Amino acid sequence: MRRSILACGLLLAFAGMATAATAATTGTDENPSTNTTTTAATTTAGNAPSPWEVREARAWRRHIRRFRADTRHWVTVMRGRPPANISRRLAARSLARLRQLARHWRHRAHRAWWHAKHPPELRDWLCIHHYEGSWSDPGSPYWGGLQMDLSFQARYAGWLLRHKGTAENWSPLEQIWAAVRGARVRGFSPWPNTARYCGVY
C-alpha cells in the first residue's frame, strides 16, 4: 500500500514538472505572431527615412531638376531645338544615389554652358556682327545681329523661328549658333562683304 501511494506521488510530481516545462517553453513561442509583429515593426521603423533624410532628398531632387533644366537650355541654344533625350524621371531613392545624380547633372550642365558660350569662330562672328547690325534689328528682309534672311532662319533655326519668331527675338548666342550651323554647310558665303572685312574666307 505504501509503495502504491509512493508511486502515485512520484507520478504526480513528474507530471507537474512536465507541465511547468511545457508552459515555460510555450511562454516564448506560444504567440509567434506577436514576436513577428514586433520584429517587423522594428524593421520598418529602422528602414523608414528620418525627417532630415526626407528634407535632404527633396533638396537634392531640386538641384537635379535645376541642373537638368540648365543642360536642356544650353543644348537648345547650341542645337537650335530642345533635346529629346533628357530624362525627366527621378527614380532614385537613396541619398547616395541622389548625390551621385546631382554631381552628374551639375557637370553636364557646366559642360553644356561652357560649349554654348564658346561657339566656333566666336571672334569672327562678333566681327561680322559689328558690320552687320544690332542683335535686335527687326528690319526685313534681314533680321538680327547677323542679318539672316527668312530662308536661312527656317533652314538652320526652324524651331527658333516657329517658337520665338524672327532672329531679333533670339539671344545673341542663339543667333551665332544658327550662323555656325549655316557656316558648316555654306561657309561664310551668306556674309560675303563683312566676312571679307573681317578677314574670314
> What is the Cα–Cα distance from 198 to 201, expressed in whole angstroms?
9
pLDDT, residue 29, reads 43
Specify whether the CB–CB gap between 158 and 168 falls below 8 A.
no
Specify whether the CB–CB gap between 182 and 152 falls below 8 A.
yes
> What is the Cα–Cα distance from 174 to 77, expressed in whole angstroms?
5
Looking at residue 201, its amino acid is: Y
Specify whether the CB–CB gap between 194 and 128 falls below 8 A.
yes
pLDDT, residue 131, reads 96
Specify whether the CB–CB gap between 105 and 71 falls below 8 A.
yes
Residue-level pLDDT, tens digit, the chain, 201 residues: 444 544 444 444 444 544 444 444 444 444 444 444 444 333 344 577 789 889 999 999 999 999 999 999 999 999 999 998 766 666 667 899 999 999 999 999 999 999 999 999 999 999 999 999 999 999 889 999 999 999 999 999 999 999 999 999 999 999 999 999 999 999 999 999 999 999 997
Domains belonging to the chain, first-starting first, are 51-117 (no CATH), 122-197 (1.10.530.10)
At 197, which helix (H) or strand (E)?
A: helix 192-197
Asked if residue 192 has a cis previous peptide bond (ω within 30° of 0), the answer is no
Specify whether the CB–CB gap between 97 and 57 falls below 8 A.
no
Specify whether the CB–CB gap between 195 and 201 falls below 8 A.
yes
Output the CA–CA distances (angstroms, integers) from residue 121 to 58, 83, 124, 137, in the order listed. 42, 24, 5, 22
